[in-house]
C-alpha cells in the first residue's frame, strides 16, 4: 500500500482583485482544471486536478473568502492519479469531496481546515469498460448524493452508458446502476435533477432522448424528445419557486448558430417559454453547470465560446435574469485569452463563482485553471457607471493588434476614437450594438495608440492604450 501524502501549498500565477468582493485567480504554471465550486457558511471552495511534478495528475481543493486568502491543498499519492470533481459542505461543517483515484471512485472527507478525516475507495467499473467519468452531482430529497456520468469502454463512444451512483452523506455507497441504451448516455453536457415528489429523477440532454425519467432505484421509466422544441447541449436545469423548471443550454439549427437558449417548462415538462440570446460567434453556458441562483430574481448565467479560438483570445459574458428570464444586466469580459468554463455556483452573498480553464500560453492548447468571483454590482450598473476597468461596457481587442481592432458592446450611441502617440485623431466611428464591430487599421504605423469611448452626450466612458505590432 502506497503512503498517502497531502501537501498545503500555493501555485498561483496571477491574482487580479477587481473590487472589494470580485477577483480572478489564474493557475498556469501546471496544466490544470478548476472543475466545480461549492460553499460553506465560512468559505467558498473550488475542486479540480493539476499535472503532477512526476507522472499523471493530483487532485486539489481551494478555499477562499476574497481575493487575499486563497489556500490550496494538493492530494499526492505516490504513483497514482487523483482528481476531484464535486463537493458539498455538510451541516456539521465537514466537506465531502467526490473524485477518482486511478479508476476507482474516491470519496474524501475533510474539515474546513482541509485536514483529511476519512477516505473511501470503490472499484465500480464493470467488465467490458475501462474508465469512469463523472459530470454531475446533486443532493436528492432524501439528502443522498447522486452522481451521473458514464463508463467508457476500450473503444471510446462504442457503448452507450449512463451510470448513476448514490452515496449517503457519510460517503458510503448505497446504490449504482449502469443504464445502456441507444437513445441516451451520460454525456458531459447532460444534467440530472431530482423529481419534486421524490419518486425519482429526470436526466436531460443525454442523447436522442432530450429527457428520461428514472425511478428512485435508478431504473428507466420513460423518455422522449422535446421536438419541435430544443433544450440544446451543455444543459443546466433548476426548479423555479413556482414549481416550473428553467433550462439554459446551447442550441444550433437552421436559424440559431450556437447560441444560448433559455427555456421554461412545467414540472411535467410542458413547454411554457422559449428564447434565444443571439450574439456574434458561438456561445455556450458553462459545461457542467451554466446557471444558478440563490435569489430567483437574480439568476446567473455565464456564456463563453466553446470552440478553439483561432486568435488565441476570446470574449465571454455574464448575465443576470429575473425569474421569467428577462435580462436585468450583462457584461462582456475577456478578450485577452481563450476561456473554457465548467461550473457556475451562485453564492450566498448574492454573487457567483465560475471555475474552468484558460490557455497557458499563446499558440498552445495546454490549459491552466481559472476562478472568477463576480458580484451583482459588477453587472447591474447604469449606462455611465463602471465599477472597475477590467469589466468593460465596451470590449476592445486584441491587444496588441495588427491590421484590425474588434469592438463589442450591448450599448447604443457610442463612438470609438483612436489617437496616435502625438494626440492626433487617426480614426473615429460609431459602434453598432450587439454585433462584432471590425475596424481596419492596417494603414497605421506600428506603435502605441490611445483610444476613448464616448456616449451620445460626448462624455468619455472608457479608454485605454493599444499597441500595434
Statement to judge: residues 387 and 451 lie in one domain: no
Q: Rounded CA gap, 59 and 18, in Å?
A: 28
- pLDDT over threshold 60, residue 158: no
Give the chain's mean pLDDT.
85
Angle at 149 between CA 120 and CA 147, to 5 degrees: 50
Statement to judge: residues 334 and 444 lie in one domain: no
Q: What is the model's pTM?
A: 0.81
Model confidence pLDDT, tens digit, residues 416-467: 989 887 778 899 999 887 778 899 998 999 988 888 787 777 766 666 678 8
50-63 mean pLDDT:
87
On the question of a cis peptide bond just before residue 131, with omega within 30 degrees of 0, the verdict is no
Model confidence pLDDT, tens digit, residues 291-308: 999 999 999 999 998 876
Residue that is last in its domain, among 391, 424, 447: 391
Domain tally for the chain?
2
Statement to judge: residues 89 and 235 lie in one domain: yes
Q: Rounded CA gap, 99 and 104, in Å?
A: 9
Statement to judge: residues 280 and 412 lie in one domain: no
Q: Rounded CA gap, 339 and 318, in Å?
A: 13
* The C-alpha cell that represents 314 in the structure block: 476570446
Judge whether 345 lies within some domain: yes
When mean pLDDT is compared over 78-87, 153-162, 276-285, 357-366, the highest value belongs to 78-87
From the list 264, 260, 216, the residue with the least C-alpha distance to 237 is: 264
Statement to judge: residues 113 and 258 lie in one domain: yes
Statement to judge: residues 432 and 309 lie in one domain: no
From the list 280, 366, 373, the residue with the least C-alpha distance to 45 is: 373
Statement to judge: residues 103 and 236 lie in one domain: yes
Statement to judge: residues 387 and 450 lie in one domain: no
| C-beta pairs of 320-323 under 8 Å, 24+ apart in sequence | 320/376, 320/379, 320/380, 321/262, 322/296, 322/297, 322/298, 323/240, 323/241, 323/242, 323/296, 323/297, 323/299
Residue 376 DSSP class: H
Q: Rounded CA gap, 75 and 265, in Å?
A: 42
Statement to judge: residues 230 and 258 lie in one domain: yes
3-state secondary structure of 377: helix
Residue that is last in its domain, among 391, 414, 436: 391
3-state secondary structure of 19: coil
Band of residue 277 on the pLDDT scale cut at 50, 70, 90: confident
| Host domain of residue 292 | 4-123+226-391
CATH assignment of the domain containing 419 = 2.60.40
* The C-alpha cell that represents 268 in the structure block: 411535467
Q: Give the residue carrying C-alpha cell 421524490.
A: 198
Q: Are 439 and 401 in contact (CB under 8 A)?
A: no
Model confidence pLDDT, tens digit, residues 385-422: 443 333 356 778 887 888 899 888 777 788 898 988 77
What local confidence, expressed as pLDDT, does residue 11 receive? Answer: 52
Amino acid at each position: 500500500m502506497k503512503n498517502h501524502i497531502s501537501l498545503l501549498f500555493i501555485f498561483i500565477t496571477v491574482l487580479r482583485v477587481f473590487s472589494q468582493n470580485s477577483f480572478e485567480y489564474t493557475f498556469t504554471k501546471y496544466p490544470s482544471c478548476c472543475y466545480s465550486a461549492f460553499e460553506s457558511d465560512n468559505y467558498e471552495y473550488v475542486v479540480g486536478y493539476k499535472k503532477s511534478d512526476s507522472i499523471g495528475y493530483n487532485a486539489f481543493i481551494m478555499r477562499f473568502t476574497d481575493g487575499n486568502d486563497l489556500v490550496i491543498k494538493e492530494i499526492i499519492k505516490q504513483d497514482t492519479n487523483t482528481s476531484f470533481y464535486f463537493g458539498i459542505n455538510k451541516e456539521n461543517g465537514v466537506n465531502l469531496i467526490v473524485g477518482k483515484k486511478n479508476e476507482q471512485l474516491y470519496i474524501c472527507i475533510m474539515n474546513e481546515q482541509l485536514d483529511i478525516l476519512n477516505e473511501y475507495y470503490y472499484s465500480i467499473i464493470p467488465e467490458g469498460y475501462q474508465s469512469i467519468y463523472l459530470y454531475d452531482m446533486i443532493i436528492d430529497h432524501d439528502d443522498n448524493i447522486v452522481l451521473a456520468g458514464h463508463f467508457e469502454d476500450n473503444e471510446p463512444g462504442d457503448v452507450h452508458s449512463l451510470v448513476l451512483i448514490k452515496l449517503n452523506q457519510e460517503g458510503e455507497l448505497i446504490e449504482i446502476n449502469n443504464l445502456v441504451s441507444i437513445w441516451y448516455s451520460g454525456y458531459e453536457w447532460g444534467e440530472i435533477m431530482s423529481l419534486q415528489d421524490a419518486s425519482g429523477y429526470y436526466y436531460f440532454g443525454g442523447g436522442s432522448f432530450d429527457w428520461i425519467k428514472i425511478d428512485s432505484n435508478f431504473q428507466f421509466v420513460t423518455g422522449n424528445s422535446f421536438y419541435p422544441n430544443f433544450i440544446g447541449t451543455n444543459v443546466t436545469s433548476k426548479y423555479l419557486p413556482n414549481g416550473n423548471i428553467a433550462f439554459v443550454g446551447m442550441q444550433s439549427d437552421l436559424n440559431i448558430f450556437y447560441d444560448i437558449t433559455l427555456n421554461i417548462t412545467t414540472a411535467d415538462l410542458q413547454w411554457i417559454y422559449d428564447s434565444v440570446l443571439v450574439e456574434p460567434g458561438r456561445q455556450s453556458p458553462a459545461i457542467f453547470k451554466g446557471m444558478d441562483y440563490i435569489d430567483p430574481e437574480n439568476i446567473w448565467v455565464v456564456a463563453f465560446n466553446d470552440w478553439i479560438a483561432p486568435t488565441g483570445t476570446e470574449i465571454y459574458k455574464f448575465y443576470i435574469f429575473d425569474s421569467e428570464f428577462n435580462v436585468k444586466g450583462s457584461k462582456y469580459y475577456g478578450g485577452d485569452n481563450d476561456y473554457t468554463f465548467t461550473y457556475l455556483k451562485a453564492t450566498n452573498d448574492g454573487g457567483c463563482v465560475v471555475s474552468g480553464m484558460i490557455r497557458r500560453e499563446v499558440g498552445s492548447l495546454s490549459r491552466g485553471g481559472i476562478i472568477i468571483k463576480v458580484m451583482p454590482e459588477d453587472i447591474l450598473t447604469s449606462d455611465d457607471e463602471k465599477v472597475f476597468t477590467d469589466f468593460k461596457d465596451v470590449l476592445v481587442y486584441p491587444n496588441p493588434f495588427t491590421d484590425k481592432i474588434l469592438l463589442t458592446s450591448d450599448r447604443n450611441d457610442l463612438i470609438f476614437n483612436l489617437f496616435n502617440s502625438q494626440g492626433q485623431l487617426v480614426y473615429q466611428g460609431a459602434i453598432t450594438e450587439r454585433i462584432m464591430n471590425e475596424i481596419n487599421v492596417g494603414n497605421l504605423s506600428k506603435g502605441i495608440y490611445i483610444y476613448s469611448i464616448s456616449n451620445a452626450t460626448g462624455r468619455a466612458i472608457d479608454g485605454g492604450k493599444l499597441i500595434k505590432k
